[in-house]
């Protein structure tokens, strides 16, 4: 079916179902199947077909319900820890701190995604990184009469025009436990011309609420009750954010956090903002990162390509060191080339700006 027919049917569906409400409070993923030819970023072509991503709540038993009831009565909503699980928060960022070694958590975390139907396109225990494929949140579709009656038969007629993928990073902390980060990346389908007869995919902002919801569900997987997990994600200290400053003539991000906390926040911000952390050296405060524009092989470079000036002739991955330095009770974040030299002012300014926006 050509794009025009698909759009026409979708328009009719939305008109007849005008009284329906998008169920945005639910998470029901399905990977994108075969779709009309679109301007699709390279990663999106790796989507598998007909893989359903149903993310249900945890099974309810009498014992877990009773534990949840007790937790509701005895646990203050300001609690940020339960057993060996603690949640940290800084602005829109959240991550788990668990008093278990990383090698004991890798398989349970991997099972968490697999049990919920996700396929992993990256599974590198040596780097502590796993990543899902691109998927569609079907809960955002209108649940109207036509959708409920023929939607299951003509599933390909319905699309949210959005795709999501999630990266999970496990990192050992100084106390011997593990920090777990879940970061979201999104793409959105937009019209690519003024006549609105062609579409293409471009990056959209990370969704902190989705990240938090999957962190909460992961806590349940690791032994925390539903009620306890909801109490934990609802509370937590908030950092004062980030500011762009200049040190020795170079732009830096200044954080009002000690090194440990700043290191965690910067790592999550890198995961969110389309950088790939290839390696890291916590003892020196260095993240080794690589960047590839999503639409590097297309005529239009897309948002991140334009941000870094990438075009069809200049699509080679860009590699940098992101340096996190302690400044007493504060920290700075700067950009270096791989050889340790100062990064070009234009590149450093752009990267610092992107990180500062996410770290606020």
Q: Where residue 154 falls among pLDDT bands split at 50, 70, 90?
A: very low
CA distance 149 to 211: 32
Whether the pLDDT of residue 16 is over 70: the answer is no
What residue spans define the domains of the chain?
1-237, 239-360
Q: Which fold has domain 239-360?
A: TATA-Binding Protein (3.30.310)
- Convert the chain into a string of H (helix), E (strand) and C (coil): CCHHHHHHHHHHHHHHCCCCCECCCCCEEECCCCCCCCECCHHHHHCCCCCEEECCCCCCCHHHHHHHHHHHHHCCCCCCEECCEEEEEECCEEEEEECCCHHHHHHHHHHHHHHCCCCEEEEECCCCEEEECCEEEHHHCECCHHHHHHCCCCHHHCCCCEEEEEEEEEEECCCCCEEEEEEEEEEEEEECCCCCCCEEEEEECCCHHHHHHHHHHHHHHCCCCHHHHHHHHCCCCCCCCEEEEEECCEEEEEECCCHHHHHHHHHHHHHHCCEEEEEEECCCCEEEEEECCCCCCCCCCHHHHHHCCCECCECCCEEEEEEEEEECCEEEEEEECCCCCECCHHHHHHHHHHHHHHHC
Whether the pLDDT of residue 54 is over 80: the answer is no
Q: Where residue 32 falls among pLDDT bands split at 50, 70, 90?
A: very low
Model pLDDT, residue 99: 95
Segment 157-198, tens digit of pLDDT: 556 788 889 999 999 988 899 999 999 999 898 888 888 888
Q: What is the pLDDT of the chain when averaged over all its residues?
A: 74
Q: Which fold has domain 1-237?
A: Alpha-D-Glucose-1,6-Bisphosphate; Chain A, domain 4 (3.30.530)
Whether the pLDDT of residue 10 is over 60: the answer is no
Segment 79-134, tens digit of pLDDT: 577 889 989 888 788 999 999 999 999 999 999 998 877 889 999 998 899 999 98
Q: In terms of pLDDT, which residue wins out, 311 or 75? A: 311
Model pLDDT, residue 141: 64
Domains 1-237 and 239-360 share a fold: no
Model pLDDT, residue 177: 94
């Amino acid at each position: 079916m050509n794009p025009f027919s698909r759009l026409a049917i979708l328009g009719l569906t939305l008109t007849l179902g005008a009284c329906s409400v998008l169920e945005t409070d639910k998470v029901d993923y399905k990977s994108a199947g075969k779709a009309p030819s679109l301007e699709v970023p390279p990663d999106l072509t790796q989507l598998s077909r007909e893989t359903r991503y149903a993310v249900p709540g945890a099974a309810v038993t009498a014992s877990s319900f009773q534990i949840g009831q007790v937790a509701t009565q005895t646990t203050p909503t300001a609690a940020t820890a339960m057993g060996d699980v603690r949640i940290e928060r800084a602005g829109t960022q959240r991550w788990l701190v668990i008093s278990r070694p990383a090698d004991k958590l890798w398989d349970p975390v991997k099972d968490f995604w697999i049990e919920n139907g996700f396929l992993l396109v990256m599974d590198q225990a040596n780097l502590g990184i796993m990543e899902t494929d691109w998927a569609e949140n079907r809960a955002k579709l209108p649940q109207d009469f036509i959708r409920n009656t023929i939607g299951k038969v003509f599933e390909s007629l319905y699309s949210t025009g959005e795709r999501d993928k999630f990266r999970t990073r496990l990192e050992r902390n100084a106390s011997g436990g593990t920090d777990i980060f879940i970061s979201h990346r999104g793409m959105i389908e937009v019209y690519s011309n003024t006549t609105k007869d062609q579409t293409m995919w471009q990056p959209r902002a990370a969704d902190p609420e989705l990240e938090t919801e999957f962190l909460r569900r992961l806590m349940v997987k690791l032994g925390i009750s539903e009620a306890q997990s909801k109490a934990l994600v609802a509370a937590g200290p908030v950092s004062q954010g980030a500011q762009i400053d200049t040190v020795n003539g170079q732009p830096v991000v200044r954080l009002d956090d000690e090194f440990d906390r700043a290191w965690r926040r910067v790592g999550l911000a890198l995961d969110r903002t389309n950088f790939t952390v290839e390696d890291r050296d916590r003892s020196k405060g260095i993240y080794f990162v690589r960047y590839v524009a999503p639409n590097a092989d297309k005529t239009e470079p897309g948002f991140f390509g334009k941000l870094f000036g990438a075009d069809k002739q200049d699509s080679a991955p860009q590699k940098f060191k992101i340096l996190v330095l302690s400044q007493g009770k504060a920290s700075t974040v700067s950009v270096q080339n791989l050889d340790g030299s100062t990064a070009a002012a234009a590149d450093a300014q752009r990267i610092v700006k992107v990180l500062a926006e996410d770290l606020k």
